[in-house]
Amino acid sequence: MDLQRAVEVFTQGFSFTKSYTRPYEVVNIGSLTVMRDPVGTKRPRKTEVVAIGADVQKTLDTVNSNDLQNGALCIALDNDADIDETGAKVKQSGYRLHCKEPFFVANTKAAARGKSAPRICRAETLEQVRAVAKAARSRQILEEHLGRDDIARLYAANEDDHPIGWVTSVSVGTDAWVSNLYVQREKRGQGYGAELMTALLKGDAHAGIENSYLLASGSGARLYPHVGYERIGTLLVFTKVRS
C-alpha cells in the first residue's frame, strides 16, 4: 500500500468524477501526474499537478518548463517526510499553501466488518440516483453506471425517503477511490458518516476491490481510522501567488 499507488488511484478516480460534465484526462509529464482538460479544449479548467516526494526543485523545474503553473500543485509525502520543510521550500518559490489533506487506505476485507445500517442503501434505481443528485446539486454517479460494480457504486443515507448523506466509490483496477463523503450539516454527529463508509467498504469487498483510498478533511481524518483506514501520507496543495 504505497504512496505511488495512492496517487494513481486518486488521480484516476478524481478525474473520472470530474469527467461527468466533460473529459478530464490524466497524463504523465516527467515524474509528475497531471490532471487537465484535453489540449485544445475551449475555456479549459485549471490544471492539477501531483508530485510524489520532497524533491521540490525537480518538481518546480518540471512545472515551469511545461507551463503548468495555472492551477494546483500537489505534493504527496509519506508519513516520515518533513512537511514543514517541504512546504517552506515551495512557498519560497512563489506559492501559498492551500491545505494539507491526509492520505488514507483500507484493506476492504479486513475493514468491512461493521454492522450494516438499515438507513444506508446503495443507489440502484434512476429515482435514487436522481434524488441524490438533487440533494447534492451535482451528479454523484452517472445513470449509465447503475449496477456496474466495475465502474462505481453510490451509497446514500436516508431520512423519510430523502437523502441526507452520500458517498461514492470509484473502481480503479482492483482498488477504489472514495469520492465526496458528505452528510448534511444538521445531521452530523449522528453516525451517518461511519455507516456510509461501512456500507461502502462492504460493497467494495463484494465487488472484488482490494484497497480503498481517500483524502481526508479535518473531521474525516478523525472518522476514518474508526472504520478501518490507515494513514499513509499527506497531500500538500499549493497555488501560485499572482503578482
Q: What is the pLDDT of residues 119-148, one digit of tens each?
A: 899 999 999 999 999 999 999 999 999 989
Do residues 227 and 113 share a domain? yes
Residues in contact with 136: Cβ distance below 8 Å, sequence separation at least 6, in sequence order: 163, 166, 180, 182
| Residue among 158, 220, 163, 231 at smallest CA distance from 194 | 220
Do residues 218 and 112 share a domain? yes
Distance CA 140, CA 189 (A): 23
Range of the domain at 133: 108-231
Q: What is the pLDDT of residues 199-225, one digit of tens each?
A: 999 999 999 999 999 999 877 888 999
Q: What is the pLDDT of residues 156-214, one digit of tens each?
A: 999 988 999 999 999 999 999 999 999 999 999 999 999 999 999 999 999 999 999 99
Look at the chain and report how many structural domains it folds into: 2
227: CATH: 3.40.630.30
Distance CA 163, CA 165 (A): 6
